Structure 1
Amino acid sequence: MRTPLEVSVLSRIRPTQEEKGHISRVAAELIAVASGIGRAEPLIVGSVARETYIRGDRDLDLFLLFEPDLPREELERE
C-alpha cells in the first residue's frame, strides 16, 4: 500500500493518458520509418520502452540493430 506522499508524487509525475497515447503513436511511426532502412531492425529502448518515463520528459531512444556480419562499407551505405 502506498503512503499519501507516494500517491501525491506519483499523481504529479506519471504521464497522462494523452501523453502515453502521443508517445505510442510517435514510437510506432518511428518504427515504421526505420523499418524501411536497409537491413536494420529498429528497437525502442529506454524509459519509454519500460514505461518508466516522467510526465513532460518525452524522449525516445531508438536503436537500429544491424546483422553482426554486415560489412562496415555496406553499413556506411545503409
Structure 2
Amino acid sequence: MKEIVGASNSISAITAVIDSIAFQTNIIALNAAVEASRAGQAGRGFSVVASELRDLATRSAQAAKEIRRLIKETTVSVDSGAG
C-alpha cells in the first residue's frame, strides 16, 4: 500500500510540473500572438505558431487533469479494497 501511495505522490508531482509547463506555454503563446498582431501581415505565420502553442498548452493541461482524476479513482479503489 505504501508503494502505491508513494507512486501516486510521484505521479501527482509530475502532473504539477506538466501543469506549470502548460501555464507557461500558454503565456508564451499569448505573448507570441500579441507580437504577431503587432507585426501585421508579416506576423501571420507566427500567429499560426502561437495558436498551435496555445492548443498544445490546453491539451497538456487537460491531460494532467485526467491523470489527477485517474490517480484519485485508483486511490479510492485501492482504499476500498484494502479496507
TM-score calculated relative to the size of structure 1: 0.37
Specify which structure has the bigger relative contact order, considering alpha-carbon pairs within 8 angstroms and separated by 6 or more residues.
Answer: 2
Higher strand share: 1
Higher helix share: 2
TM-score calculated relative to the size of structure 2: 0.36
